[in-house]
Amino acid sequence: MKKTWEIALSAVLLSFVVYGCTKSEPTDTVTRSEQGSQTANIDHERPEAPDFTLTDHNGNTHRLSDYKGKIIVLEWINPECPFVARHYQEGTMVDLARTYANRDVVWLAMNSTSHFDQEKNKAFAETHDLSYPVLDDSDGTVGRLYKAKTTPHMFVIDKAGRIAYDGAIDDDPQGSKASKTNYVKDALDALLDNRPVQIAQTKPYGCSVKYAD
């Protein structure tokens, strides 16, 4: 009887050990994906980009629909996120925006971080000598409308106002690849050349967007 009781107790203890080893840890504010899911793009299936009106760090108002007829890039940022900081140290977004500005591409940085204000956005823009505006979405309305998940999270909108690409900036979350695929660049090149966007969606990586409660 005693041996039977000891066996039963051992089984219970073992179940707790197994549960402790397999239980998911709390979700980190940083999400990572080495490649992310990819989907091919079919032009007529592109979703309409939700319209919005926001004010930038210089006090200028931007309405998305005012840019219809141009290709637009929306880049969700948070200057406190290490993924964003790395890309700005490397010049990933800044260089890309400057290159395509000459081809009439509009680049808008979107900050949905709840504790950021225009003063902080202005400081960020000046620190990195940005050629594009930082739009204040600190109440999170537009970020939630687009279902922006991470910083960075990129959206490329075609001339008809439809989302042609949604996801990561590239396929190198850790910043360790010698050769990487820049999904935004590929989408821009395709749209400018009137070609289909081969990869229309990937899983974004970075820090979770710090939305207001």
Beta strand 71-76 with 105-111: parallel, antiparallel or unpaired?
A: parallel
Q: What's the pLDDT score for residue 144?
A: 98
Please name the residue ranges forming H helices in 48-197. 82-90, 92-101, 118-127, 141-146, 183-192
Q: Where are the alpha helices (DSSP H) in 29-180?
A: 82-90, 92-101, 118-127, 141-146
Nearest to 75 by CA among 8, 17, 124, 22: 124
List CB contacts of 53: < 8 A, sequence separation 6 or more: 61, 62, 63, 64
What is residue 22's predicted lDDT score, i.e. its pLDDT?
A: 31
- Domain residues of the chain, as ranges? 33-208
Q: Which of 154, 155, 159 has the alpha carbon at shortest distance from 192?
A: 159
Residues in the chain, total: 213
Full-model pTM? 0.81
Q: Give the β-pairing of 206-208 and 150-151.
A: antiparallel
pLDDT for res 210: 98
The pLDDT, as a whole number, for residue 183 is 98
Whole-number pLDDT of residue 204: 98
Per-residue pLDDT, 32: 35
CATH architecture of the domain formed by 33-208? 3-Layer(aba) Sandwich (3.40)
Name the helix (H) or strand (E) containing 167: strand 163-167
Predicted confidence at residue 213, as pLDDT, reads 86
Q: Tell me the average confidence (pLDDT) per consecutive run of 10 residues in the chain, 213 residues long.
A: 42 37 32 43 78 98 97 99 98 97 96 97 97 98 98 98 98 94 98 97 98 93
